[in-house]
Amino acid sequence: MRIRLHTRAHRIRLRATVLTAAALAVAPAVSAAGPVYPIADPDPFYAAPADVGDHQPGDVLAVRPMPALAAFPDTDITLVEFRSTNSTGQPIAATTTVLSPRNRRADAPLLSLQQIINGLGAQCAVSRVLYTDDPNLMVREAPAWNVVLKRGWSLALPDHLGPHFAYGAAKLGGQITLDGIRAAQRVSELKVQHSPVAMAGYSGGGMATAWAAALAPTYAPELHLAGAAMGGVPMNLVSMLEGMGLGSHPAFGLAMAAGLGLEREYPDRFPLSSQLNDRGLAIRDKLANSCTNDILAAGAGVGAMDVAKTTVMTQDPQARAVLEENSLQMYRGVPNIPVFEWHSPIDGLIPIDAVVDTMHRYCAAGVPVWSEQEPVPDHLTAAVLGLPAALSWLDARLNGAPVVSNCG
């Protein structure tokens, strides 16, 4: 292990022959246009070591104590690089940032919090935005994390999009989340080797959390997880991207960014760039290293018909398969831990039927599920309204309280 010390810091089904979203508009490649990867992080800490393939998932590759932050009083911050696995089974290096109460007791609870990362650039990583003074990138809700830290819990914040910032590659996020927990428990100075562990996340962070919960029985069976709280989870990328791609949509930039992220992760099976017209390629280049606000601005008032070379394209089964492989509704595995799930039944961003169907399937398989609804139309408002109940549920799980379920 290398120790590096530094002080710097909805519900519309896919039509077989009609273009329904830029991310679905994929046919055999017809131009030289290819995936645009993020500008490499200039900090060598983030680079994968040459021997990354010689390590096992969750093995610690490097540890860096980070500068204290005024937003988190009496808190140690540690950046951990570890070995994980990408969507095609290849070894990669990933990172997680662990916030620990300075006077923590050994084996106090550990919460892996998958923060929303709507981004395609290295500066969007959680480990980066914690230290930025750019108001466009700051995590404004981060001070609220002190509620968890004051309880004596440690907080792991994985950069769950991976080294290529493959936004949309949800299964990848689940694997990185689980390996980040493994890695945190292998860093002795963090004192969480035998801690009870839970996971939480909303929206894109909820995708990583939900996938981690579903993958844990097979990908990381040795982990002792107490539960997972997930909210506003996009559980069907096919219907979600379709709904955002029909005509202009205020969040079309996110749909296109997800398509570009999937292209990065599956360049041979999801060649989106080859299907973009000149305007589409220009927008792609604006998105390639952008985070939330700039992604939304670049896609404002735009729809799939505006960026595709043709108005009607055949459906590529390989591209559709990529979306299905990253849609939790279509993954037949189920968690072996309790699940807390919340969403708005009138959320205009995610397919609600996919959430309900998945939770019903979990209940039928015997998974203890507690579901709550926050009937507000705004996706992010639902996140805030559901957090108190989610935190209470997590507290109960981490303290060994009896599990309750409202499966009907």
List the domain boundaries for the chain.
2-38+237-314, 57-236+325-398
Q: Is the CB of residue 278 less than 8 Å from the CB of residue 50?
A: no
Mean pLDDT (10-residue bins), the chain, 408 residues: 37 29 36 80 96 98 97 97 98 98 97 96 96 89 93 98 97 98 98 98 97 98 98 93 70 92 95 92 96 94 85 67 96 97 93 96 98 93 95 97 94
Which tokens in the block code for residue 143?
Answer: 């001070």
pLDDT, residue 5, reads 35
Angle formed by the axes of helices 292-299 and 278-287, nearest 10°: 170
| 88, 242, 289 from 39: Cα distances, Å | 22, 29, 7
For 96, the enclosing helix (H) or strand (E) is strand 91-101
pLDDT, residue 244, reads 65
* Listed residue (353, 364, 392, 373) closest to 227, CA to CA: 392
Which tokens in the block code for residue 286?
Answer: 């604006």
For 272, the enclosing helix (H) or strand (E) is none
User: Which SS3 state, helix, strand or coil, does residue 195 take?
Assistant: coil
pLDDT, residue 408, reads 78
pLDDT, residue 348, reads 84
pLDDT, residue 246, reads 57
Give the architecture (CATH level 2) of 57-236+325-398: 3-Layer(aba) Sandwich (3.40)
